[in-house]
Amino acid sequence: MAIDIEKVEMIVMEADEKFDKSADVFKSDLTQVRAGRANPHVLDKIKVDYYGTPSPINQVGNIAVQDGQCLVISPWDKSLLKAIEKAIQLSDIGINPTNDGNVIRLVFPTLTEERRREIVKQVKKMSEDAKVAVRNVRRDCLDALKKMNKNKEMTDDEYANYEADVEKAVERTIAEIDRATAEKEKELLTV
């Protein structure tokens, strides 16, 4: 009985890629969370109608942080001011833009202690969702390996070794998610 190393390695490698992707998506989502300080990443998912093409704000203008509490958006084409303003209003970032005819300003209000705690709860929920995604990938990977073991395509010892490798990858990914969560919590609770 010869183990199909390529097939097994493909299953494990695919799971590894999905683990990394889950952690990366979670970290990307964390940058969208407003922490009371001006952060250009809160605008990352907002698209502006740029001559019929939905484009990210950072591709139609310059975004600068002013005095830590204010973002200034300077569009390269002044005719986009209204479109950018409307896109921000329609988004769910919770900040009302001010348009002075040249630039758009987004003033980030200081968060109250209660609001900070609510956002920390949101971050913890996002963290748990990311961990669930990682666990689902683990389940799928181990199911595929179990099936190979059941079909006598690998021995019990080989299965145990691969299972241990997958578990290490899961632990590494969950630790990475926990680290990112802790950093964001610290950022949110620091006044």
Joined together, the tokens standing for residue 84 give 């950018």
CATH of 40-107, one of 3.10.310.50, 3.40.50.720, 2.30.40.10, 3.30.1360.40: 3.30.1360.40
Lowest-pLDDT range, 58-67, 116-125, 168-177?
58-67
Return the percentage of the chain with pLDDT > 70, whole number. 96
**Rg of the chain on CA atoms, in Å:** 23
The confidence score (pLDDT) of residue 99 equals 86
The confidence score (pLDDT) of residue 36 equals 65
The confidence score (pLDDT) of residue 81 equals 86
Whether 1 has a pLDDT exceeding 70, the answer reads: no
Q: How far apart are CA 73 and CA 37, in angstroms?
A: 16
Whether 173 has a pLDDT exceeding 80, the answer reads: yes
For residue 96, give the amino acid letter.
N
Whether 35 has a pLDDT exceeding 80, the answer reads: no
Mean local confidence (pLDDT), 161-179? 93
Mean local confidence (pLDDT), 34-62? 80
Q: How far apart are CA 133 and CA 123, in angstroms?
A: 15
Q: What is the pLDDT of residues 92-145, one digit of tens each?
A: 777 788 888 888 888 877 778 888 888 889 999 999 999 999 999 999 999 999
Whether 63 has a pLDDT exceeding 60, the answer reads: yes
- Which residue ranges make up each domain of the chain? 5-32+112-189, 40-107
Query: Whose CA is closest to 80, among 101, 66, 64?
Result: 101
Q: What is the pLDDT of residues 67-93, one digit of tens each?
A: 777 888 888 888 888 888 888 888 877
The confidence score (pLDDT) of residue 174 equals 95
Residue 5: which pLDDT band, with cuts at 50, 70 and 90? confident
Q: What is the pTM of this model?
A: 0.72
Lowest-pLDDT range, 32-36, 46-50, 91-95, 123-127?
32-36
- Class of the domain covering 5-32+112-189: mainly alpha
